[in-house]
Amino acid sequence: MTPLLETRNLNVRFGGVHATRDVNFTLAEAELRCVIGPNGAGKSTFFKLLTGQVKPTSGQILFRGQDISNMQSHQPGRLGIGIKTQVPSLFNGLSVWENVWLAARRVNTPQQTERVTRMTLERVGMLAYRDATVGLLAHGQRQWVELAVVIAPDPPLILLDEPAAGMSDAEVTRTAELILDINRQHALVVVEHDMSFIRKIARTVTVLHQGAIIKEDTPDRIMSDPLIQQIYLGKKPQ
């Protein structure tokens, strides 16, 4: 069976920097995968490759068997890849409702759009803020609105870059619950460096180091692996 997402011998070089080395990554339908690694491990570059913001020097990225590595920037969204960047990227001058409406409208009729928008906002718990201007919301709330924007078109694959960045503990817990809830219908790739957050959501973790995949395993085994403790944590575990 064709995997949902697959990269084949993916390489990126920026001048002399080899940012991604021979990455062969496979994600099954409806899977939830966390990608971790220390600063400079190539997480961001890997994420940008998947979203099409960076073009690979060599290799392929296949979404359901279709090469997406050299697509125009609006085409991954059309294929059904939902993307959430690290800094919330929203229409700040528009209301919460309008943001999600626009996301839902591309794939729905006007009537369906109203229903989908309401459902999605309910799901992330932001329906009460429907008329609020997004730019004036708190950081955590904007992250949730962006999650709503990403899931509203019902994409089979969702890519999240540090979805819990800058959140309080309570907000992180809630975001983890949301992501597990989203995973019931959508496959997810979550790029993250916050270990406590990964413990809450991960079943399988991919570890990047110096641009290459060094291990793929369950979170517990990853965290007890001495090599990974050495390179990732830089110290012995508590």
Rounded to whole angstroms, the Cα distance separating 98 from 121 reads: 11
Minimum distance from residue 157 beta carbon to another protein (Å): 13
Looking at the Cβ atoms of 62 and 127, the one nearer to another protein is: 127
Return the H-helix or E-strand segment holding 122.
helix 110-123
Sign of CA dihedral 46, 51, 56, 59: positive
Residues in contact with another protein by the rule CB under 8 A: 51, 72-79, 83, 85, 89-95, 97-98, 101-103, 105-106, 110, 113-114, 117-118, 122-133, 136-137, 149, 153, 174, 177, 181
Q: Which is nearer to another protein, 42 or 77 (CB)?
A: 77
Closest to another protein by CB, 181 or 220? 181
CB of 205 to another protein, least distance (A): 24
Q: Residue 42: name the closest of 156, 227, 223, 208 by CA.
A: 208
Which H/E stretch holds residue 96? Answer: helix 96-105
| Smallest separation (angstroms) from another protein to the CB of 151 | 12
User: Smaller CB distance to another protein: residue 38 or 125?
Assistant: 125
CA–CA distance, 205 with 203 (Å, rounded to integer) = 7
Q: How far is the CB of 78 from another protein (least distance, A)?
A: 4
The helix (H) or strand (E) run that includes residue 222 is helix 219-224
